[in-house]
Amino acid sequence: MDQTLIAGLGNIYTDEVCFCAKVLPTRIANTLKEKEMKKIHKCIPQILKFAISKKGTSANNYVRTDGTRGGMVPYLKVYGREGEKCRRKGCKGIIKKIKVNARGTHFCSVCQK
Ligand SMILES: [Zn+2]
């Protein structure tokens, strides 16, 4: 399995892509099925295009100098939403946060497998 696939993506986008593909972020490095890989490949450009259209996520400097929040932050589905309701239609999950390799990762344990 090619770990470089999403290595270039930041934490935020990794979380969002995994949510989009309904895959647990903990599984990325090891046991993805071909069908799931295809979903991830489809989701990556979707998430990136959306991020670019919203001028990125300023989570590093969460609030801009003028006090407004980063462009994509309000649209994030899992990242930074620990304890909040899953935004997938029909899903009643709560977003969880765990640490993987010392990095925080966010996911819905109900709709992501
Ligand atoms: Zn969910």
DSSP 83-94: TSBP-STT---B
Higher pLDDT, 101 or 111: 111
* Separation of alpha carbons 30 and 17, rounded Å: 16
* pLDDT tens digits, 7-17: 556 788 889 99
84 CA → ligand 1 middle, Å: 10
Average pLDDT score over residue span 37-64 = 75
- For residue 57, pLDDT over 60 is answered with no
- For residue 100, pLDDT over 60 is answered with yes
Do 35 and 23 form a contact (C-beta atoms < 8 A)?
no
34 CA → ligand 1 middle, Å: 22
Percentage, residues of the chain above pLDDT 90: 47
Orientation of helix 11-21 relative to helix 34-53, angle to 10°:
130
Coil, strand or helix: which one is 48? Answer: helix
Residue type, 59: A
Q: Which position has the token pair 């935020």?
A: 12
Question: Residue 6's pLDDT is what?
Answer: 52
pTM higher than the cut 0.85: no
pLDDT class for 85, splitting at 50, 70, 90?
Answer: very high
Q: Which residues have their alpha-adjacent CB atom under 5 A from ion ligand 1?
A: 86, 88, 91, 93, 108, 110-111
* Separation of alpha carbons 53 and 106, rounded Å: 23
47 CA → ligand 1 middle, Å: 17
Do 71 and 55 form a contact (C-beta atoms < 8 A)?
yes
Token readout for 96 is: 């969880």
